[in-house]
Amino acid sequence: MDFRLIQTCPDSKARAGELITPHGTVPTPVFLPVGSQATVKTLTPEELKEIRVLMVLANTYHLYLRPGIGVIEKMGGLHKFMAWDRAILTDSGGYQIFSLAALRQVNDDGIIFRSHIDGSEHFITPELIIQFQETLGADIIMVLDECPAHDDSLEKVQVAMTRTHHWAERCQRAQRRRDQALYAIVQGGVFPELRQRSAKYLTSLGFSGYAIGGLSLGEPKRVTLAVIEETVVLLPESKPRYLMGVGSPEDLLEGVARGIDIFDSALPTRVARNGALFTWQGRRNIRNAVYGQMEQPIVPGCDCYTCRTFSAAYLHHLFSCDELLGYRLATIHNLSFIHNLMQKIRNAILDGTFSAFKDDFLAGYKPTNEPARLDQKRKWLKSRSPGQS
């Protein structure tokens, strides 16, 4: 495992590099589609390859509960189990476990929780999380962390941060495989002083990479961006930087501009299943009547299978009839759009035009209204089953 920094922008913190993994080299900045349960929802591995995806994210919590780590081990490991011969990052599942709220108890030793599936009781420790991820065989694995709510008090966030630090040390000591990169997760909520302490402490331990966790959980976007900016400057330039759970086009650009290399989010696939498709002007709801007789694809000139093959009118018809193919085609388009955006971003970094590209994109792209976005986020978090990605 290695990371090569190739170029940085003179007028921003944007940077281009390469993650060298046992399953191929991944150019950065990169967006990872979320396949929590060993599948990116609605798509086959071949469809992901056609989109030119080089790395996906899977979730240890979900795979531990179903089908079980032992089953995947018997099937030859996660790559073979899901028929994916490219790179994989496994999240520890810390966020999913902490979303269980009333179904869990936390102490310094680990977490006792009840499965959101059948109510069975489980005890997870940092050492077990590393053992599970080593058995799964992902290229990049994550420490177990405690993810506080965005509106928790300073005192509660500080306790969670300190526990995250201790667990990170235990994860580091428990690691046996050296063909996997272990990343630490910086916590600290929305408090700059805690983020700074967390970044300084974790970087002193010498991990292979560093993630910024606990953001995009309901706080205003200006707060998210400020926390990213304050944290990144404390992370080593020679190590990859991973912003967890962020995936809207405008946020990807803002994250890259602040020095982030890796992103993941279920947003592009989730909104696709709800009929929201990305365009260069913003999201479009394919269910709207205006698309019912539109002969062109949703994004003219887009090279994805969906836009090469079908009209917007056909997609409108599929969603009007609740046909499953509509979810697949919308997902193909959204992931293709994000991949193409990341490729354009990287090219702009390499040729020194990133700041101009960012300004041009944001001038033409209309993001979701901020109050509406926060309201949607709150409703989505409230509607989710405990532990759901």
Q: pLDDT digits over 132-160, tens only?
A: 999 999 999 999 999 999 999 999 999 99
CA-CA distance, 17 to 218, in Å (whole number)? 31
Q: Which among 23, 91, 7 is positioned nearest to 353, based on CA atoms?
A: 7
Q: Which among 334, 302, 308 is positioned nearest to 41, based on CA atoms?
A: 334
Question: Cβ distance 105 to 112 under 8 Å?
Answer: yes
What mean pLDDT do residues 361-383 have?
A: 76
- The domains of the chain, with CATH numbers, are 2-264 (3.20.20.105), 272-370 (no CATH)
Known catalytic residue at 360: no
pLDDT bracket for residue 98 (50, 70, 90)? confident
Sign of the CA dihedral 49, 69, 385, 110? Answer: negative
pLDDT tens across 238-265, in order? 999 999 999 999 999 999 999 999 999 9
What average pLDDT does the structure give for the chain?
95
What mean pLDDT do residues 45-61 have?
A: 98
Sign of the CA dihedral 308, 312, 318, 324? Answer: positive
Sign of the CA dihedral 147, 149, 150, 155? Answer: negative
Q: Return phi, psi of residue 31, to 5°.
A: -110, 130
The pLDDT of residue 101 is 76
The pLDDT of residue 316 is 98
CA dihedral 226, 242, 255, 98 (to 10 degrees): -60
pLDDT bracket for residue 379 (50, 70, 90)? low
The pLDDT of residue 387 is 57
The pLDDT of residue 102 is 78
Burial of 162 (0-12, 13-18, 19+ CB in 10 A): middle
The pLDDT of residue 103 is 84
Token pair of 232, please? 């990144």
The pLDDT of residue 94 is 86
The pLDDT of residue 38 is 98
Kindly list the distances between the CA atom of residue 379 and the CA atoms of 94, 95, 323, 387, in Å, as whole numbers in the listed order: 21, 18, 25, 16
Contacts of 267 (CB under 8 A, 6+ apart): 247, 248
Contacts of 389 (CB under 8 A, 6+ apart): 34, 36, 37, 59, 62, 96, 266
Q: Which among 88, 109, 259, 94 is positioned nearest to 185, based on CA atoms?
A: 94
DSSP state, 34?
B
User: Residue 389 above 80 pLDDT?
Assistant: no
Question: Cβ distance 194 to 153 under 8 Å?
Answer: no
User: Residue 370 above 80 pLDDT?
Assistant: no
Question: Cβ distance 29 to 262 under 8 Å?
Answer: yes
Q: Taking every pair of C-alpha atoms in the chain, what is the biggest distance, in angstroms?
A: 60
Which of 151, 264, 303, 351 does the annotation list as catalytic? 264
pLDDT bracket for residue 48 (50, 70, 90)? very high
Known catalytic residue at 2: no
Kindly list the distances between the CA atom of residue 149 and the CA atoms of 156, 168, 188, in Å, as whole numbers in the listed order: 9, 20, 10
Which of 85, 91, 108, 139 does the annotation list as catalytic? 91
DSSP of 173-191: HH---SSSEEEEEE--TT-
